[in-house]
Amino acid sequence: MNLPIIKSKNKLKASFDKIREWDGKMRRSEEFDIAGVKWRIGIQLEAKDDNNKLHVFLCCEMNGVWISAVDNLQFKLLRHYNHDTKNFNATQYLMTSENSVGVSISSYYWSTILLSNYGYLSCDTLSFETTFDFIYQHFNNIEHYTDFVININNLFELNVNKGLLCASSEYFYNQIVVERKGEEEIRKITIPDIELGPFMLLLALMHPSLDVPAEKLENSLELANRFKINSINLKYVAKLKAVFEYHENDKEYQMKSEYFLKCLQFAEKYEMNQDFMNFVLKCFKTSNEIKTFSEVSGFETLKESTKVLILQRVLETIV
């Protein structure tokens, strides 16, 4: 059985009322029917150490449809004047076993949301808009469904789900779907120049619930870049950011220039990381910190374009 893969772009909008009376328990919007799949936007408030973190998520009811992944997922928190929005991009890529994918909004933003003068609440109602792509296949409730084979070096064969593979990897989507449009669908692809172990780890890292050390993610970045699996890159970026945020007020740690250098070199290597590079540069708080960083061994290996951005950051810290 060789089932077609379908890719769809979508936009949903939902509002939640009586926010100030809300007890924080999970709430879901009305259903939206897209291609036979029922979707909802949900919200839930997590209270921890007097900090309330808002979770916003997209969930679906499969009913015989395999939702492989949600891509380019963005939630917009809508304001009721000036047509302004606050955007939150999801780093999670594949749907979880609960058929949901979402973002967490920090306690700082949740506190801001509740302030009337910011305009996020109108008559005690909060509104979200979400845009996303998803790739899916229809099937008849087949557990552990596989329909495609990856041949490794003509020695090993891995049975995988084609929709999941295409949803996770732009490379495989192009090889299996785009480049063969109008031709007979293929059921096998051969990769002749790769080791089995690292590739199997790469496939495992696609799953959103698998939490692994940053070192393992780092070892898989070359393959992730080769096969254009953005979710692994995003996982690694999230771990690097967590280090910065954890030590945000630890100035001695922030001055450890080797870590800045490592992060900037990583951002240079993979073009998809422009946002991360901007994040790292903004972690330089003073021109003295940047001067110290410029003296670290290896600074000279940075690209000229990166050094220009660092100079711009120097000017920003002076103003």
Do 128 and 103 lie in a common domain? Answer: yes
Of 175, 200, 235, which residue constitutes the final position of a domain? 235
Task: Please give the model's pTM, rounded to 2 decimal places.
Answer: 0.55
Do 104 and 77 lie in a common domain? Answer: yes
19 belongs to a structural domain = yes
240 belongs to a structural domain = no
Structural domain range at position 28: 6-138
Question: Taking each helix axis from N to C terminus, what angle separates 230-246 and 196-205, rounded to the nearest 10 degrees?
Answer: 70
Q: Is the dihedral of CA 230, 235, 239, 242 positive or negative?
A: positive
Report d(CA 313, CA 309) in Å as an integer: 6
Amino acid at 286: T
Contact (Cβ atoms closer than 8 angstroms) between residue 42 and residue 130: no
User: In 10 A of CB 151, how many CB atoms?
Assistant: 14
Q: What pLDDT is stored for residue 138 in this prediction?
A: 54
Do 158 and 113 lie in a common domain? Answer: no
What are the Cα distances from residue 279, in Å, to 14, 173, 181, 273, 305? 31, 30, 39, 10, 16
User: In 10 A of CB 93, how many CB atoms?
Assistant: 23
Please provide the size of the chain in residues.
319
In the chain, how many domains are there? 3
**Strand bridging mode 148-152 / 188-191:** parallel
Of 89, 113, 138, which residue constitutes the final position of a domain? 138
Of 114, 138, 162, which residue constitutes the final position of a domain? 138
Report d(CA 207, CA 231) in Å as an integer: 9
Q: How many CA atoms lie within 13 A of 279 on its CB side?
A: 16
51 belongs to a structural domain = yes
Nearest to 205 by CA among 187, 189, 227: 227
CATH number, domain with residue 174: 3.30.710.10
Report d(CA 68, CA 212) in Å as an integer: 21
Q: Where are the alpha helices (DSSP H) in 93-220?
A: 107-113, 162-168, 170-173, 196-205, 214-219
Do 99 and 162 lie in a common domain? Answer: no
Q: What pLDDT is stored for residue 142 in this prediction?
A: 43
Do 218 and 285 lie in a common domain? Answer: no
Alpha carbon 19 to chain centroid distance? Answer: 27
Contact (Cβ atoms closer than 8 angstroms) between residue 198 and residue 220: yes
The tokens 């991360």 sit on which residue? 276
Three-class DSSP category at 71? strand
- pLDDT tens for each residue of the chain, 319 residues long: 444 556 667 888 999 998 888 888 889 999 888 766 778 888 888 876 666 778 888 887 655 555 555 666 778 888 776 556 777 766 554 555 456 667 777 766 777 777 767 777 878 888 888 887 766 655 544 444 567 888 888 888 887 878 778 878 889 888 888 877 667 778 889 998 888 888 888 887 876 656 677 777 888 888 988 998 887 888 888 888 877 766 655 555 545 677 888 888 888 887 657 778 888 888 887 888 888 888 888 889 999 989 999 888 888 887 6
Predicted confidence (pLDDT) per residue in 205-248, tens digit? 876 656 677 777 888 888 988 998 887 888 888 888 877 766 65
The tokens 């295409």 sit on which residue? 166
Do 31 and 81 lie in a common domain? Answer: yes
Contact (Cβ atoms closer than 8 angstroms) between residue 130 and residue 70: no
Alpha carbon 282 to chain centroid distance? Answer: 21
What are the Cα distances from residue 50, in Å, to 104, 113, 200? 16, 16, 42
Q: What pLDDT is stored for residue 141 in this prediction?
A: 43
